[in-house]
Amino acid sequence: MEICAMHQGDIKYIILDKNSVKLACTECKDDGITEGCEPDQCILISKVLKLPEVLLSKINIDSELKSFFSNILKESKEELSNFKNYWLKQLQEIKTALENLICETDNYIDTLTKMLSGYRIELKRIIKFEIFEQYIKANVNNYNIDKMGSAIIYKNRNEINSQLELKIQDYINQITQVNKDEIQKKMEDLVLDYKNKVINTKVPSSIEILNSFKSGLEEFQVAVTEKSRLVNPLLSVVSSLLSPSNFQDILYKIPQKQSAKCTLIYQGSKDGFETIKFWNKIQNKSNLLMIMKLKNNVCIFGGYSPCQWLKSSQPQFIADNQGHSFLFIQNKSVQMQYYPIKSDFKHQAISVNQNYGPLFGKNDLQIFSDFKEGYINIGQHYFRDPKDNQQSLLLGPKLTEITECEVYEL
Ligand SMILES: [Zn+2]
């Protein structure tokens, strides 16, 4: 490292002025700031050596690239490594809990099996079941021997069976009459004992871990999605209508568009709320995101479709074969609500008619020819959860006085 000629200090900074570069020690840097140099423009050399974006985010390059470089700066090898260690540990805990549950279930069912067999052995002992078994087995043996029998043997066999039937009846009488009280008492004790054993064996429970699993896994999904976004920051686009995070959320919903350019091609308040002006700006363009606002409503709403907005003098449906079109509503209090195109209606994602404003679906979202009023009734060609009636309560169905409409080409 070079030494500063003026202060003999180690050169630690690069100061980027508009048209000059200066190497500086700590004192030089402090002097520079006192003299009006932006602290932001004093770059630690050690930092820039690790991350080239530190330099690129400070110099005069394309503003979208610059914003990408300054956003991706926040992600580093260390950051990813910490993230990985944390979540692997969390997931490992879930795995361990699941493994314990597997083990517990294995033991539980084994225990139940043993108790059931033990109880059954004891039950057989109480009712002297082997006697009954003998009778039945004896009969089966006779049957086997006499299988080829004739009419003579039939008579003989009939006698044997009758004797057996009597014996079995006698056996049953022992249980139901002769030794009724004694056997009943023993059976009651056995059943009680068995029931107690089952009751006192802990049933494996997933309920306790289910809640922690659920929130843990949900947190995981949020974190890992967020991480995938942080390492892939969007190029900077600002909408005057949507919050930055909701705007980004929409862009992330659009497949393959995460890194594409995003250009504002029509803005009603600037370009004029007239159907002809709207169509002049958007005609024959595809991949348009439309965002709108009404005068006396806090909701921001709109739609995205990859379809081409053909300028047509007759109403014409346009198909979105991939089914990527969607409508959305941003309420003040609620998160973004999305309404994807129904798979049955992909062939009618949007409708184009140069005498009207935008039309999504049947009349899921429609702006009339005056470009001031419209209609919203999501659920025709775009899917709306029947439980969700927020939009119908907070917006529409009649839309009056549109005060802003932004159209972005993605
Ligand atoms: Zn110096």
| pLDDT tens column, 158-171 | 888 888 899 999 99
What spacing in Å lies between the alpha carbon of 4 and ligand 1's midpoint? 5
**Percent with pLDDT over 70 in the chain:** 92
Distance CA(203)–CA(315), nearest Å, equals 65
Q: How far is the CA of 24 from the centre of ligand 1 (A)?
A: 5
> Is it the case that residue 358 has pLDDT exceeding 90?
yes
* pLDDT tens column, 206-249: 888 888 888 889 899 989 988 887 888 776 677 888 887 788 88
Range 90-114 average pLDDT? 95
Surrounding ion ligand 1 within 5 Å at CB are 4, 6-7, 25, 27-28
Which residue would you say has higher pLDDT here, 73 or 24?
A: 24
Query: String of b and e for 154-188 (b: at least 16 CB within 10 Å)?
Result: eeebeeeeeeeeebeeebeeebeeebeeebeebee
Rounded to whole angstroms, what are the CA distances from 24 to 42, 49, 55, 291? 9, 16, 16, 49
pLDDT at residue 35, rounded to an integer: 86
Six-digit token pair at 243? 């919050």
pLDDT (mean) for 65-75: 83
Rounded distance from Cα 6 to ligand 1 centre (Å): 5
Report CA(18)–ligand 1 centroid distance (Å).
20
Angstrom distance (rounded) from CA 121 to CA 71: 73
257 pLDDT tier (thresholds 50, 70, 90) = low
CA of 309 to the centre of ligand 1 (A): 61
Q: pLDDT: is 333 or 328 the higher one?
A: 328
Q: What is the pLDDT of residues 151-199, one digit of tens each?
A: 667 778 888 888 889 999 999 999 999 999 999 999 999 999 999 999 9
Over residues 267-296, mean pLDDT: 93
- At 339-349, the pLDDT tens digits run 999 999 999 99
Distance 60 CA to ligand 1 centre (A): 26
Inter-CA distances, 191 with 184, 197, 200, 233, Å = 10, 10, 14, 68
In the chain, the percentage of residues whose pLDDT exceeds 90 is 55
CA distance 144 to 157: 11
For residue 177, the model assigns a pLDDT of 93
What is the distance between the alpha carbons of residues 405 and 242, in angstroms, rounded to a whole number? Answer: 11
If one compares 228 and 303, the residue with the highest pLDDT of the two is 303
Candidate ranges 30-39, 281-290, 295-304, 327-336; pick with highest mean pLDDT = 281-290
pLDDT at 1 over 80: no
What is the C-alpha to C-alpha distance for residues 185 and 187, in angstroms, rounded to an integer?
A: 5
Please give the residue that has the higher pLDDT: either 296 or 319: 319
What pLDDT was estimated at residue 235? 64
Domain range list for the chain: 13-72, 80-199, 235-409
Alpha carbon of 27 to ligand 1 centroid (Å): 5
More confident residue, 22 or 62: 22
Ligand 1 centroid vs 2 CA: distance in angstroms?
11
7 CA from centroid of ligand 1 (Å):
4
Residues 365-384, mean pLDDT to the nearest whole number: 92
CA of 9 to the centre of ligand 1 (A): 6
Distance 41 CA to ligand 1 centre (A): 16
40 C-alpha to center of ligand 1: Å?
A: 18
| Banded model confidence at residue 250, pLDDT cuts 50, 70, 90 | confident
| Residue 48 CA, ligand 1 centroid: distance in Å | 19
- Confirm if 403 and 273 have CB atoms less than 8 A apart: no
Read off the tokens for 121: 């052995």
Between the CA of 271 and the centroid of ligand 1 the distance, in Å, is: 54
Mean residue pLDDT of the chain comes to 88
Q: What is the 69 CA–ligand 1 centroid distance (Å)?
A: 29
